Chains A and B, each alone.
Chain A
Amino acid sequence: MPVGLLESLRAALPHVSGFIYPNELELQWSVLIVLYPYITGLVAGAFILASLERVFNVAAVKPTYRLSLLTALAFLLIAPLPLQAHLGHPERSYEIFMTPNPSSAMAMFGFVYLWYLMAVLLMEIWLDYRREIVEWSQTEPFWPKRLFYKLLTFGVTNLSPRSLEIDDKLGKAITVIGLPSAVLLHGYVGFIFGSVKANPWWSTPLMPVIFLFSAMASGIAGVLLIYMFLCRVRREPIDMPCLDTVAKYLLTAIIVAFSLEMLESLQTAYEAKEHFDIISLLVEGKLFISMVLVQIFLGSLVPLAILGLNQIHLFPERVRRVCYAVSAGLSLVGILAMRWNVVMGGQLFSKSLRGFTTYKLELVGREGLLAAAAIGVMPLFALGALLYLLPPWPAGGDPMRTR
């Protein structure tokens, strides 16, 4: 018997309020499952931002194009980790590919993930960087890196204008396929929760859509902050038209995500079905800080006000930069809180609708705060490695501006 687990459950027993089914004391999905939709959301959001430039020809966001793609890839590489770490039998996870159950939303994760990684993201990045990869494979002075680029060319070294033109066309076609794929990837994450009819906090057809738009907001906010940070580190001027445009998209995404969330809440309150009492208690009690204060006020209303003000009044550049950074940071925190509220909120109340269990985030352990924080920052290290291997900025050229 795992002594630590039993001790923590015994300690939790007196903190149960009302009646819960006896098996409900243990919260099944821990903080790691909060991270999973957060990280996947950042992938989808970053990719959608990249697609704006490629598919819809929004020239202003060009400086963030490659950075968005690399951010999406860095987060996508880490996305399965929290899931894997959470499994009771991680060594059996391959079963999802071997014996997938076609009626399971979760079983499709592997396939959607692989499709998105292999067919969309890697292909698009490779095509976009192909010219540089070929050049680096010949000019890179550090031999292991040179070898890496050489392998990455896959033996295709043709850089004729015709072949580059084909690259560009193919890349565009892949982005067109990639856009619905990114929507599918994250919409599907929402579906995993939204389709659990046993849980009234999760079960709503709006869940995939809400997840999708908050994903867009988080991805755009993430790329915006990373871009500002990198410009600072590289001592390069920030492209203000680009930043203004990205901030505008951030505002749009927050408006849509927030409106959908509020519509959903309004509908739940107005219908006031059987589960409404317990849900009101949940929001007024255990989720008050993380939902009302962090998600709604700090994470949505404050960024909406700041970004909205910037649409009405043109502040000086310095002020705008601070405004955007603060709004992006707050909405990233707010969306993390939203994932927390969905995942944890849905498990805190009993399906008997008569009481609450409790959750104490442990510091150490496989599903503790430290493990979660480690997995949470991993995508940034992965991004660092990707930026080192595939710098999005050409040497001596315009910062981060290509093609």
Chain B
Amino acid sequence: MLSRRQFLKTAAATALALAGRALAAPLAAAEKFFHDPPWKRKKPYWGYAIDTTKCIGCGRCVGACKTENDVPREPFYFRTWVERYAVRRDGETGVDSPNGGQDGYPPLRDPQEVAKSFFVPKLCNQCEHSPCVQVCPVGASYKTEDGVVMVDRKTCIGCRYCIQACPYGSRYFHPVLRVADKCTLCYHRIHKGLRPACVEVCPTGTRMFGDLSDPQSAVTRFRETERVLVLKPEMGTEPKVVYKGLDKEVR
């Protein structure tokens, strides 16, 4: 029989432990200031880089992704897509991505008035501090040991909170499976030493993939030698997808 003193002691210890955990969670967010990035500690740790100056907007990556990952063919479900920006001389910026850029783009209106035009491929930014993982009520969205953000289709309840929380519009609600879906960096391929389908088919080398913990990998070399940016850095999500050649108009 538990004495009253013992009971109170156990209860107090449990409460303290729980309070400690609750306090530790927000403090863990500050961890990044005191530690090396995870790829200095974990091997492999996957990263992705995009050189927008090389993208020609062929859209092959979009098609390959849909085929490889069984993404619905309709023009409102994408794991990756390519945006075309056209900044006009009067300062107005037009952006389009018809069918995600898979079938090409219509001719630009008054091309002589366009000061510059470029393509920006988009995909899940594989955030180090992913808002989607943070908000998922059941832990169906999670980050693997090697740094890839995934969705467990067997656990996802389909509340769509993660889709709301993603600042990049990278997630969609799968109309057949009725769960959230997004880019997994072709996890089934990279596990076997292959590259993601979009990287594989890119004819210009715009898309790069590799192990951030490997100093010789294409992604590491790219990050070290180029001036790179991430999308919406103010969100504090620390994307592992980095870009070269972004413009102030790109969001």
Contacts and interface: CB of A to CB of B under 8 A. Distances in A.
Interface of A: 1-2, 5-6, 9-10, 13, 19-26, 28-29, 83, 86-90, 92-93, 95-96, 98-107, 109, 192, 195-199, 346-347, 350-354
Contacts of B178: 88-89
24 contacts: A1-B175, A9-B74, A19-B95, A21-B97, A22-B99, A22-B169, A23-B171, A88-B160, A89-B178, A96-B157, A99-B138, A100-B139, A103-B25, A103-B133, A104-B134, A104-B136, A104-B161, A106-B135, A106-B137, A197-B236, A199-B164, A346-B164, A352-B251, A354-B251
Contacts of B137: 95-96, 100-101, 104, 106-107, 109
A195 B236 CA distance: 14
A380 B140 CA distance: 36
B135 to A, nearest CB: 5
B18 to A, nearest CB: 10
Contacts of B60: none
Interface in B153-187: 155-161, 163-173, 175-176, 178-179
A185 B83 CA distance: 42
B93 to A, nearest CB: 8
A96 B158 CA distance: 12
B175 A87 contact: no
B135 A104 contact: yes
Contacts of A6: 74, 175
A358 to B, nearest CB: 12
Nearest to A103: B134
A121 to B, nearest CB: 23
A352 B169 contact: yes
Contact of B72 (A1, A89, A109): A1
A106 B163 CA distance: 14
B37 to A, nearest CB: 21
B75 interface: yes
A105 B136 CA distance: 9
Contacts of A105: 135
B205 to A, nearest CB: 24
Chain B contact residues: helix, strand, loop or mixed:
loop
Contact of B81 (A22, A83, A199): A22
A351 B167 contact: yes
A99 B142 CA distance: 13
A90 B77 CA distance: 22
A98 B173 CA distance: 23
B122 interface: yes
Contact of B97 (A10, A22, A28, A93): A22
A142 to B, nearest CB: 42
Contacts of B235: 197-198
A102 B25 contact: yes
A198 B165 contact: yes
A28 B169 CA distance: 12
A89 B169 CA distance: 22
Contact of B76 (A22, A196, A352): A22
Interface in B226-250: 235-236
B176 A1 contact: yes
A50 to B, nearest CB: 30
Contacts of B175: 1-2, 5-6
B210 interface: no
Given A24-B169, A104-B134, 14 more contacts: A6-B74, A22-B78, A22-B99, A28-B173, A29-B164, A87-B158, A88-B157, A88-B158, A95-B140, A103-B134, A104-B135, A109-B137, A195-B135, A198-B235
Contacts of B21: 102
Contacts of B77: 23
A87 B157 contact: yes
Interface in B21-65: 21, 25
Q: Which of B25, B169, B170 has the most chain A CB within a 10 Å cutoff?
A: B169
Nearest to B160: A28
B96 interface: yes
A129 to B, nearest CB: 31
A351 B232 CA distance: 11
A13 B76 CA distance: 9
Contact of B156 (A21, A89, A195, A197): A89
Contacts of B168: 21, 351
A276 to B, nearest CB: 14
B170 A2 contact: no
Nearest to B177: A88
Nearest to B250: A352
